[in-house]
Amino acid sequence: MRDDPRVIALVARATGGDQDAWNELVERYAPLVYTVCTRYRLSIHDIEDVGQNVWLLLVEQLGKLREPAALPGWLATTTARECLRVLTAAHKSERAGTGLDDAVLFVDDAEIDGEILMAERNAALRAAFAQLPSRCQQLLSMLISDPPRSYAEIHGELGIPVGSIGPQRARCLERLRRSSTFTDLVEGDTKINLRGGEPGA
């Protein structure tokens, strides 16, 4: 992972006691912690415990990180260690054999790198989405809801003529793609799949 000035700035602010920066770090990387936990097939209760331990450890170590931009890797590695600690404790208490499954013990660096990259992309996408005008946020939210809202419903709620919904969606997506918050991280041919709405629109 390359140095991300946003992460460096967030770590510096959080280290200085900025609660908003801390909250943003947690929101940004909680999905990464959760994803790593799911690889170890932990129960929901154990996932919550691991998450709490990881964030407590980060409180203790945040000011000691030599490279603040390496925070995502630190979180992924710490989460994996905490998951193994929970599994080892459960294994000992159940006396269910002589060792943990090798597949569980193996930590795939490439997979963790992929999870870190996905967490960074998701955070960048959320930040870029938050910078859109509220009208674009409303329209895109309705189009990507599950199930997507119909054009008639969007017209009724937002007052956008049905024939203008597709072109407005395209303009909003273009603004999202051009956002520096997102393009700084997502380079190359990465496509954002936010198509929604009526077929053929």
CATH of the domain at 118: 1.10.1740.10
Residues 17, 66: one domain?
Answer: yes
194 domain residue, yes or no: no
The answer on 78 and 22 residing in a single domain is yes
Task: Answer whether residue 137 is part of any domain.
Answer: yes
Question: Do residues 78 and 148 share a domain?
Answer: no
* Percent of the chain scoring above 70 in pLDDT: 78
Give the model's confidence band at 191: pLDDT under 50 very low, under 70 low, under 90 confident, else very high: very low
Helix, strand, coil proportions of the chain in percent (round to 5)?
A: 75, 0, 25
**125 band by pLDDT with thresholds 50, 70 and 90:** confident
- Asked if residue 115 belongs to a domain, the reply is yes
**Is pTM beyond 0.75 here?**
no
Task: With respect to residue 197, please indicate whether it lies within any of the assigned structural domains.
Answer: no
Q: Structural domain tally of the chain?
A: 2
In a shared domain, residues 148 and 168? yes
The answer to whether residues 48 and 79 belong to one domain is yes
Q: Is 156 left (phi over 0), alpha (psi -120 to 50) or beta?
A: alpha
Whether residues 158 and 116 fall in one domain: no
Confidence of residue 40 (pLDDT cuts 50, 70, 90): confident
- Interval 67-90: pLDDT, tens: 888 898 899 889 999 998 888 887
Instruction: Tell me: pLDDT of 174 over 80.
Output: yes
The confidence band for 189, taking pLDDT boundaries of 50, 70 and 90, is: very low
Q: Please indicate, yes or no, if residue 9 is contained in any of the structural domains.
A: yes
Mark whether 27 and 87 lie in a shared domain.
yes
133: pLDDT strictly greater than 80: yes
Residues 79 and 10 in one domain: yes
Same domain, 153 and 74: no
Does residue 119 contact residue 130 with C-beta atoms inside 8 Å?
Answer: no
Q: Which of 112, 158, 155, 165 is nearest to 1 (CA)?
A: 112
Residue 91 lies in a domain: yes
Note down the domain range covering 163: 132-185
Asked if residue 182 lies in contact with residue 174, where contact means CB atoms within 8 angstroms, the answer is no
Structure tokens at 135: 């009208």
What are the tokens at 127?
A: 């930040």
Domain presence at residue 17: yes
Output DSSP code: residue 196: -
**Same-domain status, 126 and 139:** no
**The pLDDT value given to residue 190:** 44
Answer yes or no: do 154 and 115 share one domain: no
Answer whether residue 198 is part of any domain. Answer: no
pLDDT band at 93; cut points 50, 70, 90: low
Q: What is the pLDDT of residue 19?
A: 94
Same domain membership, residue 180 and residue 120: no
- As a whole number of angstroms, the distance between CA 9 and CA 168 comes to 34
